[in-house]
Structure 1
Amino acid sequence: MTSPSLIFERALIRRRLDRADKGGAEDFLLRAAIDDLCERLSLIKRAFPAVVEIGSASPAFSARLAHEGRLIVRMAPLAQLAAGAPQIDLSRDAGGKAESTFPRPALALVGDEEALPFADARFDLAVSALSLHTVNDLPGALIQIRRILKPDGLFLGCLLGGASLKELRSALGAAETELYGGISPRVAPFADARDMGGLLQRAGLALPVADSESLTVRYRDIFALMADLRAMGATNALVARVRKPSSRKLFLRAAEIYAERFSDPDGRVRATFELIFVSGWAPHESQQKPLRPGSATMRLEDALRREKPPPSGA
């Protein structure tokens, strides 16, 4: 029996990512996320000797992070790595040194974002590109990321946001309602950028930041969009999805609605992808702290009176 708390069929997601990886299709969303995350990281003037890269479907991110002397551990979701994954115990130190359990410059292993196989306070930096939006327990995954960070370690990640594929959701929903009198789950319930700061704080991460960027991609039609999603391993993996094949009639009607509502003058249709970028630090005594309640030296009323402009003519 399936747990009612499960949203995604994680094993299916891994199989589809594996198939997409073998197909060799370029994931433009992942490339955009990696480019932005690397740019953000370059603005932080600090060394991160030990880095874990969590769940990205491509080794490209780890390759970008692999500077000289930096230890990189890539925890990959791809099933194809399972047979050849190094059998190394990452749950405890060997000889009292974290680095002694890792070969340099990089190690790839299979793992799950919902059960990180690392001991506490192991890494200076944890990064994740477009994987956390498919976990069943996002707050729990963030808590685990906080756990494996050293004091004053940084988490930097990107996940899809709630505005992603809003056009596809609308067109499929309208077509199903028109033809069958109801809708079935087809597009994942992505995170909301407004809630991510609170989730980071709830996970115990200090100085949380969350912002979003929208990426609009144009396609010939809805079928070209769905082909791209399939090539990226990003098709429907919801536990509550309808298991029987959908009719051709449904998709033809959805294509008509999509074209009517979301096409440009040249006939091409738009698809929105929202990228949510998040960051937070493992607490450390050196970090800036909020003022204690009641520690203000001036009343709000006095501050507002001081800022009030003088009367005209004065």
Structure 2
Amino acid sequence: MQPLIDTELWLARKRRALARPVEGADFLMRRAAEDLADRLGAVERRFGKAAALFCQTSAAFEVLAASGKVGEIVRVEMDEALLAGAPGLVAPPETVPFEDGSLDLVVSLLSLHAMNDIPGVLAQIRRALKPDGLFLGALAGAGTLAELRESMLAAETELYGGASPRILPFTDVRDAGALLQRAGLALPVADVETVVVRYDTLFDLAADLRAMGETSPLIDRSRRPGSRRLFARAAEIYAERFSDPDGRVRAGFSIVWMSGWAPDASQQKPLKPGSAKVSLKAILENPPKG
């Protein structure tokens, strides 16, 4: 498979963002951590050993610790800098550094969209889980930065007669569910949370993306330097198409949540065809009275 993403560039931008923190720019990670707390709270069980896999900050670790449901928590990051001095493991991108059947829970926040081989990572996660172990993951999904994508495409086409990719091709929620099934996870569920943020201009959005370390890591990204003229025109188009009555512009972020369990004999199984006690035909012909 031809890689789409320059993972080393993505990591370099994450390191730079960590070295130059901007207050408030971690709003997506904070939202994902809040969602993780809610989702974990709905699971009525305890977990002996959990991995916070490629979560970039301590937010997921803190959620797991505060839940009171996890015995041992291991942080895993792709770079020492992302651990920021905290205990944890450093593993190469797309590598799950655990023995088969050694984990009860794996969580991952907002990194999977920067992986070239998401199916391979999910398969490794499934193997690392004990039977009936749980995976909870969030990644940026389809619809993220759709307004910016459209505005940049329109501006570049208008000025240069064509355009090159500048924004990642994000996974949609249906594909996410299929990826869970492909990895061999049972009871797969994928859903999406949409976050809409408002900015004064496109340039303020771009500043937040730099502060997150989430500017384009595409290998096939445009090598044409972004001229002032290009960004000025893109900002005009953005304001024309995506502004509110007060003049501020909207930016949408989609967080796709994925959950699945390592297969176990104790789990619910779908009924086999023909095993239902009452047929649909009988119900339709003799509906319940009342």
Q: TM-score, normalised by structure 1?
A: 0.86
Q: Decide which of 239, 243, 250 is 1:263's aligned counterpart.
A: 243
1:24 aligns with 2:21: yes
1:188 aligns with 2:185: no
What is the aligned partner in structure 1 of residue 53 from structure 2? 54
What is the aligned partner in structure 1 of residue 253 from structure 2? 273
Shift of 1:80: 2.3
1:44-73 C-alpha deviation (Å, 9 max, x unpaired): 111012000111111121122125672111
Which residues of 2 match residues 1-314 of structure 1 at below 5 A? Answer: 5-25=2-22, 26-66=25-65, 70-80=71-81, 107-307=87-287
Gaps of 5+ in 2: none
Aligned Cα root-mean-square deviation (Å): 2.0
Identity over aligned pairs, percent: 53
Cα distance in 1 for partners of 2:227, 2:142 equals: 27
Cα distance in 1 for partners of 2:60, 2:46 equals: 17
Cα distance in 2 for partners of 1:134, 1:308 equals: 52
SS at structure 2 position matched to 1:118? coil
Equivalent residues of 1:15, 1:79 under 8 A apart: no
SS at structure 2 position matched to 1:66? helix
Equivalent residues of 1:142, 1:200 under 8 A apart: yes
1:19-63 C-alpha deviation (Å, 9 max, x unpaired): 111212341101100110111101111101200011111112112
Higher alpha-carbon deviation: 285-294 or 111-120: 111-120
Cα distance in 1 for partners of 2:92, 2:172 equals: 23
Larger radius of gyration: 1
Q: TM-score, normalised by structure 2?
A: 0.93
Cα distance in 1 for partners of 2:210, 2:286 equals: 60
1:133-163 C-alpha deviation (Å, 9 max, x unpaired): 1100111111111110010000001111100
Shift of 1:113: 4.6
Equivalent residues of 2:132, 2:263 under 8 A apart: yes
Q: Which amino acid aligns with 1:191?
A: T
